[in-house]
Structure formats: structure tokens, C-alpha cells
């Protein structure tokens, strides 16, 4: 078997399991005890009010240098210490955000045959899926998803986008267009903050030829949320991620030291996180941080993760200006195609990929 042609076992939709009203989850979804979420406050000495930074972007793209400098300094702290932050007043219409999320919710509630017509394979992952990774017998996550490409334009194929609800394709198209623009603006800010020319990171990503794709996650209700995860711990392999979380149901947890912080989403904010490729380009000045998703017994959850990635066949390596004698290049060059093969074969595995590349002696 070509490893990336077929799933190793028949695919089971987690939503169907959830709707069959089991009171115990199948063994395949039970995580080892060290990976399970902790819901008891005794085991957990974290302050539950802690949240990732929330940054209001009003004024960031305007002339007032003081306002701009203040916002850039908040972004700097967030990228260096958290790898995650929420942005408000980012320029994407709140109505479009709501339409996109609710359109996808309707898709996941469509009859199974509508969704099955778009079932995906591990070759490209495009379409309706229920697992990441092709390892036979792997322990699975409690979620289904839909994955599609928006850029480069030769990979954008409406026929692989869902046909239901009727307006969803136009909504996705407009939503992704807005997010490409927003990511382009943020890339300039990150470049300047790193002391580079404003187009530096974008050029390192391949200029106009970046990649962009959307994964919509559907986390069905789960009768034993303490035994499993909606999405296992991972860092994002790409460049930048813009996450639109569910507006009703929290679930995303971000690692901070030895703790997991549950993100409290701000209304109509995007959650931005640094991916592994930006960690590499920034020579680890910016952190791509592990995160995971918990599920719950009473409510389903929908989230839209938009990934802004480098052109997939150009080498990504630390920017020369960020290499010093004190901090030599921490990573060898690697294309994004080579890099993401790891997660496509093995599924989410914490930060093992980017950490395994680290080599103090190189470049």
C-alpha cells in the first residue's frame, strides 16, 4: 500500500458515534493517562482567570507612531512569550465571521450522505475527514473536520469544497480572501518587530505564492471528556494560524510552562498563533506553542483554523539577520512539503517535529 493513498482502517465518523448515545467512548479514543485533560481544580494550581493576551489593533495600520509602537510592543511580547494572542478590530467584518462559522455548523449537521460524498484520503487530506495520520491502530481524537485549499490558486478547487448550505462556497471564498489580506498585514508587522524590512518574512514565504488552507473542526458531544481530547497536543506546522473559535463553547488549551491555559475567546476576535515555519525563520525568537482541544458532554463545538503557509517547495531557514555568534542558526533549511509530511503520516505529536530539527551546530 502507498502509505498516503489510503486510510489504514475503515473511517468512523465521531459525530455518528456521538449521536448513537453511547455512555462510554470506544477504546480507540482513550488517551494514555499522561495526556488526558484534568478537570479537577485540586490537581490544577493555575489561576483560572489567566488568558492569552488580547490585543486591540485599532490604530495599528495608521499614522500615529505612538499608538502603533504600543500595539507592536504588545504583539512582540505575545509572539515571544506566548506564541498565541487574540486580536480585536482586525478589519474582518463580524457578520462574515458569524456567517462562516454558522454555515459550517450547518454543513456538519447535513445528512451523512451529503458529507460522505466529500470524504477525504490521506493523499491530500482535502474534504471531510475524521483522523490525522495513517498509523494503523493509532489512538484517535474526538473530532471530525473538513480541509480545503485556498492558495496557491492552482490548488483551489471549488469541486472539493462543500456544496451545502447553498451559499457556503461564496462565504468561504470571501472569508479566506479577507484572511489572506489580514495575514499579509500581520507579516509586515512581525518583520518590522524583528528588525527586518517590512516585506522580509513575506518574501521568505515566497512572495505572492504563499499557501493558504482552511481546516474546520467539529467536536461532537462526548460522554467521557476526561478520557480523551478533541485534538491532541500539537504545534502548527505552517506559518501563521488565524483561528475562529466557537462563540459559545471554550475548548482550546494553550501550553504555558507545565500548565494548560483554557482560552477565553473574546467576541469577534481571531486567535492568532505562530506556526513552526515562523519559529524557524525567526530563529526561535518567536515561539510556536503546543495547544490541544478538550471536549465536553453537553455541547458540540465548531472552530475554523486558517493556515497561512510558505510556498511549499522553497527552503525555509533562519533569516541571516537573526543569526549571531551568541545565537547561531538553530535549524537547517527544509521545505514546507518535507516538513508537513511528518504530521500527515504520524498525526499530531506535540512539538516533536520542530524540536527534532534543532541543531546548535548547524548553519
Ligand X SMILES: O=C(O)CCC(=O)C(=O)O
Cβ nearer to ligand X, comparing 36 with 188: 36
Min dist. Cβ of residue 171 to ligand X (A): 19
Whose CA is closest to 279, among 330, 349, 326?
330
Q: How far is CA 286 from CA 51, 212, 334, in A?
A: 19, 21, 18
Binding of residue 278 to ligand X (CB under 6 A)? no
Enumerate residues 211-230 that contact ligand X by CB under 6 A. 215, 217
Considering the complex, state which of residue 243 and residue 329 has its C-beta at the smaller distance from ligand X. Answer: 243
Counting contacts by CB under 6 A, is residue 252 touching ligand X?
yes
101 binds ligand X, rule: CB under 6 A: no
Q: What are phi and psi of 202, to 5 degrees?
A: -60, -45
Q: Which stretch binds ligand X (CB under 6 A): 30-38, 177-185, 245-253, 335-343?
A: 245-253
Q: Is 251 in the site for ligand X (CB under 6 A)?
A: yes
The nearest distance, CB 151 to ligand X, in angstroms, is 18
* Contact characters 26-45, ligand X, x per CB under 6 A: --------------------
The site map against ligand X for 294-313 (x = CB under 6 A) is ---------x-x--------
Which of 144, 236, 276, 300 lies at the binding interface for ligand X (CB under 6 A)? 236
Among positions 211, 239, 245, 275, the unique one binding ligand X when judged by CB under 6 A: 245
Nearest to 350, CA basis, from 25, 6, 3, 34: 34
Q: Which is nearer to ligand X, 282 or 303 (CB)?
A: 303
Which segment (55-63, 82-90, 195-203, 244-252) binds ligand X by CB under 6 A? 244-252
Shortest Cβ 352–ligand X spacing (Å): 16
| Residue 182 in grid coordinates | 489580514
Q: Is 52 among the residues that bind ligand X (CB under 6 A)?
A: no
Where on the chain is the footprint of ligand X (CB under 6 A)? 215, 217, 231, 236, 243, 245, 251-252, 291, 293, 303, 305
Amino acid at each position: 500500500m502507498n502509505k498516503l493513498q489510503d486510510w489504514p482502517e475503515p473511517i468512523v465518523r465521531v459525530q455518528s458515534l456521538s449521536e448513537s448515545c453511547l455512555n462510554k467512548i470506544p477504546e480507540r479514543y482513550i488517551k494514555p493517562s499522561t495526556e488526558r485533560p484534568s478537570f479537577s481544580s485540586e490537581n490544577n494550581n493555575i489561576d483560572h482567570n489567566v488568558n492569552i493576551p488580547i490585543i486591540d489593533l485599532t490604530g495599528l495600520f495608521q499614522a500615529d507612531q505612538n499608538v502603533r509602537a504600543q500595539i507592536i510592543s504588545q504583539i512582540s511580547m505575545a509572539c515571544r512569550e506566548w506564541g498565541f494572542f487574540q486580536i480585536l478590530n482586525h478589519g474582518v467584518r463580524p457578520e462574515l465571521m458569524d456567517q462562516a462559522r454558522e454555515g459550517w455548523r450547518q454543513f456538519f449537521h447535513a445528512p451523512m450522505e451529503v458529507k460522505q460524498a466529500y470524504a477525504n484520503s490521506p493523499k491530500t487530506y482535502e474534504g471531510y475527514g475524521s483522523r490525522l495520520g495513517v498509523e494503523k491502530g493509532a489512538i484517535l481524537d474526538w473530532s471530525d473536520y473538513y480541509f480545503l485549499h485556498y492558495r496557491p490558486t492552482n490548488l483551489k478547487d471549488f469541486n472539493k469544497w462543500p456544496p451545502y448550505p447553498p451559499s457556503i462556497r461564496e462565504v468561504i471564498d470571501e472569508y479566506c480572501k479577507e484572511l489572506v489580506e489580514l495575514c499579509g498585514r500581520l507579516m509586515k508587522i512581525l518583520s518590522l518587530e524583528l528588525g527586518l524590512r517590512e516585506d522580509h518574512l513575506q518574501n521568505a514565504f515566497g512572495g505572492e505564492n504563499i499557501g493558504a488552507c482552511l481546516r474546520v473542526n467539529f467536536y461532537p458531544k462526548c460522554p467521557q471528556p476526561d478520557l480523551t481530547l478533541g485534538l491532541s497536543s500539537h504545534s502548527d506546522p505552517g506559518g501563521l494560524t488565524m483561528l475562529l473559535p466557537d462563540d459559545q463553547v471554550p475548548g482550546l488549551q494553550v501550553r504555558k510552562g507545565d500548565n494548560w491555559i483554557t482560552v477565553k475567546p473574546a467576541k469577534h476576535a481571531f486567535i492568532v498563533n505562530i506556526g513552526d515555519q515562523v519559529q524557524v525563520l525567526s530563529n526561535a525568537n518567536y515561539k510556536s506553542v503546543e495547544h490541544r482541544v478538550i471536549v465536553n458532554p453537553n455541547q458540540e463545538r465548531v472552530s475554523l483554523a486558517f493556515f497561512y503557509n510558505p510556498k511549499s517547495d522553497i527552503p525555509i531557514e533562519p533569516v541571516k539577520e537573526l543569526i549571531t555568534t551568541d545565537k547561531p542558526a538553530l535549524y537547517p533549511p527544509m521545505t514546507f512539503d518535507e516538513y508537513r509530511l511528518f504530521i500527515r503520516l504520524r498525526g499530531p505529536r506535540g512539538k516533536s517535529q520542530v524540536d527534532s530539527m534543532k541543531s546548535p551546530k548547524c548553519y
